[in-house]
């Protein structure tokens, strides 16, 4: 979310603005410009892995330091301003990760790490939008339904060029999150580019509390809506499935629209609600070699129940894992628009000096061996939901899903 960085699948789980001068310093130190990463939660577009062995740095892998002392000294002696040691260190760490040129890897300060973890838990004060990085710009993955961003009309793929009148070019997602978040009741103005048009969108911040799973019964069709993949998502999805079956539903709509992702393990567990034990959910590859295959391990509640999955441009990461797994295993068809296309997995690694490293550790592939990175998942039935539809409170995508299940 914007609040959630696009972390989606995502982040594997184990057990801002900085001064322009500092950003420039970081860039110089590693000969690269600062860039960025994801639900606020997920995004953007998140999966955190913590059970892998991380290679240690040997003497032969030591960080090159040629010229750093000289550069630092000249900055201190010539810069018309002040530079604290903490700011210098944070700038160098950010710049080093920035040299990877990977939009989903970044160094997070202690404060940014706390905000990142809060986004996974689904409660924070802000506007409720998942952000990612597109070139030098911060891009909206999706607004979270019912939040201030959603009510203000923020849409997937909006490019944020200014935050409260200050440039948002060449900043990280974490920095954008820090500048956008703020106390409930205060306004933030986003200047965005949409379809070539520049717009100013004022948004009043609020407390964002997002239930990861909601469900309802319409006639004999059950509708399960998952807004993010957090710690409680698989348990709530299984509860929803059991209650809907007890109510006699004959089919299911799984709504993953605007879901920016979240925890990888959660996406595997959610897939287990539909897929028999031992079914492949995804493969992870590094350097083209399979390093891990994720399979279901429990008893499916909805095995054999006709299911349609709804996706859109804001469905990313863990959402794409579930959609790809269910379709490739012939457990569901897909309606909506092509998804975001985040086919990488990040790991959040705590650092002994404080803060953390969010870094891409692998690429993931659907059970049929398909990479959706930058391509997204294409629906079986393409149905758009326009701004006019939203204003008129119409949902042709949901209508199409229900129609397909009713045939």
Q: Which residues contact 295 (CB under 8 A, 6 or more apart)?
A: 278, 279, 280, 281
On whether the CB atoms of residues 344 and 285 are closer than 8 A, the answer is no
3-state secondary structure of 259: coil
Give yes or no: 317 in active site: yes
On whether the CB atoms of residues 6 and 132 are closer than 8 A, the answer is yes
- Annotated catalytic residue: which of 212, 319, 328, 358? 328
3-state secondary structure of 56: coil
How far apart are alpha carbons 313 and 268 in whole angstroms? 21
- Annotated catalytic residue: which of 94, 342, 344, 356? 342
H or E stretch at 286: strand 280-286
Rg (CA), the chain: 21
Give the number of other CB atoms < 10 A from CB of residue 202: 11
On whether the CB atoms of residues 1 and 42 are closer than 8 A, the answer is yes
Omega into 351 within 30° of 0, i.e. cis? no
How far apart are alpha carbons 18 and 90 in whole angstroms? 9
Which residue(s) pair with 218 in the sheet? 221
On whether the CB atoms of residues 139 and 132 are closer than 8 A, the answer is yes
- Annotated catalytic residue: which of 119, 271, 315, 317? 317
- Residue appearing with tokens 């184990």: 14
On whether the CB atoms of residues 356 and 349 are closer than 8 A, the answer is yes
Q: Terminus-to-terminus CA distance in the chain, angstroms?
A: 37
Give the number of other CB atoms < 10 A from CB of residue 31: 9
Give the number of other CB atoms < 10 A from CB of residue 391: 9
Which residues belong to the active site? 317, 328, 342
């Amino acid at each position: 979310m914007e609040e959630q960085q696009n972390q989606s699948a995502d982040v594997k789980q184990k057990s801002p603005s900085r001064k322009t001068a500092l950003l420039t310093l970081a860039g110089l130190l590693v000969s690269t410009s600062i860039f960025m990463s994801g639900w606020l939660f997920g995004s953007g577009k998140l999966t955190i892995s913590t059970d892998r062995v991380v290679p240690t740095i040997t003497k032969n892998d030591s960080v090159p330091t040629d010229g750093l002392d000289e550069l630092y000294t000249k900055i201190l002696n010539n810069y018309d301003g002040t530079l604290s040691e903490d700011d210098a260190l944070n700038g160098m760490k950010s710049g080093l990760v920035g040299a990877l040129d990977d939009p989903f890897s970044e160094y997070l300060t202690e404060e940014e790490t706390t905000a990142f973890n809060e986004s996974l838990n689904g409660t924070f004060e802000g506007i409720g939008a998942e952000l990612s990085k597109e070139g030098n710009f911060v891009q909206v993955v999706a607004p979270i339904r019912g939040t201030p961003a959603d009510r203000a009309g923020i849409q997937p793929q909006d490019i944020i060029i200014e935050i409260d009148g200050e440039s948002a070019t060449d900043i990280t997602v974490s920095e954008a999150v820090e500048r956008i978040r703020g106390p409930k009741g205060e306004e933030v103005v986003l200047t965005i580019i949409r379809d070539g048009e520049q717009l100013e969108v004022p948004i009043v911040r609020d407390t964002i509390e997002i239930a990861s799973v909601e469900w309802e019964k319409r006639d004999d069709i059950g509708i399960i809506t998952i807004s993010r993949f957090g710690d409680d998502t698989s348990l709530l999805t299984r509860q929803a499935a059991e209650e809907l079956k007890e109510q006699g539903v004959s089919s299911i709509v799984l709504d993953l629209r605007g879901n920016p992702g979240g925890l990888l393990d959660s996406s595997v567990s959610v897939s287990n609600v539909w897929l028999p034990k031992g079914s492949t959910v995804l493969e992870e590859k590094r350097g083209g070699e399979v390093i891990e295959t994720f399979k279901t391990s429990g008893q499916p509640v909805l095995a054999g129940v006709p299911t349609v999955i709804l996706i859109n441009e804001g469905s990313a990461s863990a959402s794409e894992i579930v959609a790809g797994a269910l379709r490739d295993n012939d457990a569901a068809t897909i309606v909506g628009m092509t998804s975001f296309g985040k086919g990488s997995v990040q790991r959040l690694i705590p650092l002994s000096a404080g803060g953390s490293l969010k870094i891409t550790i692998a690429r993931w592939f659907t059970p049929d061996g398909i990479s959706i990175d930058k391509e997204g998942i294409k629906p079986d039935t393409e149905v758009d939901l326009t701004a006019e539809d939203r204003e008129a409170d119409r949902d042709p995508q949901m209508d199409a899903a229900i129609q397909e299940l009713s045939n």
